[in-house]
Amino acid sequence: MYDFFEAFEQMGWVQWISHSSWLYPAISVLHYFTIFWVVGTIALVDLRILGFAGRRQTASEWSDQLAPWTWTAMAICLVTGFLMFATGAGEFILSGMFVGKMAATLVGVVLAVVVHRGVRKWDRAPAIPGSAKVLAAACLLVWFGTILLGVEVANYGFF
């Protein structure tokens, strides 16, 4: 597996990113900016479901306004993240911290999708059900965990 990803790392366009003086930092900026954007908009929807934000509106109105930005930013974040991964693919794939970050991201995306799909149904109930609140809290925590692991990957590189 290491050999495959190491070979991938040596491909022309990946080398271009690695050796350019400005391309990698530019991609990093977009990756950071969009992850804040993703987590911020997801957190606002979760906070609405938990009853801490946007109480003048229904949860689905709140989510409708923010969700398109969650997914737009997510797309940019995944593409830029993949480009950053490519420059160190061989080492990243062997890093427990990095694999953990990917797993947390996957769980976070699934939870965010479940929350966005459930919100209309929960609005029709007399009050937002307890199970929805548990789901929203879990979603929030997983995304904080993703940031934490991401920070560790950035600080310590390959572990």
Partner 1 sequence: MGGLLMAWAQWLETTPWGYPVRTSLWLYPFIQLIHFGGLSLWIGTSAAVDLRLMGLGRRRQTAGQLSDQLFAWNWIGFAIMLLGGFLLFSATATTFLVNAAFLVKLTYLVPIALVWHIIVQRKARTWGKNEETPASAKLAGVLELALWLSVVTAAVLIPSY
Closer Cβ to partner 1, 26 or 134, answer by number: 26
By CB under 8 A, the residues from 80 to 99 that bind partner 1 are none
By CB under 8 A, the residues from 120 to 149 that bind partner 1 are 144, 147-148
Q: Which stretch binds partner 1 (CB under 8 A): 3-11, 65-73, 107-115, 121-129?
A: 65-73
Q: Which stretch binds partner 1 (CB under 8 A): 8-16, 57-65, 83-91, 106-114?
A: 57-65
Q: Which of 112, 123, 28 is nearest to 66 (CA)?
A: 112
Closer Cβ to partner 1, 73 or 89, answer by number: 73
By CB under 8 A, the residues from 14 to 53 that bind partner 1 are 25, 28-29, 32-33, 35-41, 43-44, 47, 53
Q: Which DSSP string corresponds to 16-80? A: HHHH-TTHHHHHHHHHHHHHHHHHHHHHHHHHHHTTSS-TTS-HHHHHHHHHHHHHHHHHHHHHH
Cα–Cα distance, 77 to 60 (Å, whole number): 24
10 near partner 1 (CB under 8 A): no
Contact between residue 55 and residue 101 where contact means Cβ atoms under 8 Å apart: no
Phi, psi dihedral angles at 154 (to 5 degrees): -65, -40
71 near partner 1 (CB under 8 A): no
Q: Which of 51, 111, 101 is nearest to 81 (CA)?
A: 101
Closer Cβ to partner 1, 5 or 84, answer by number: 84
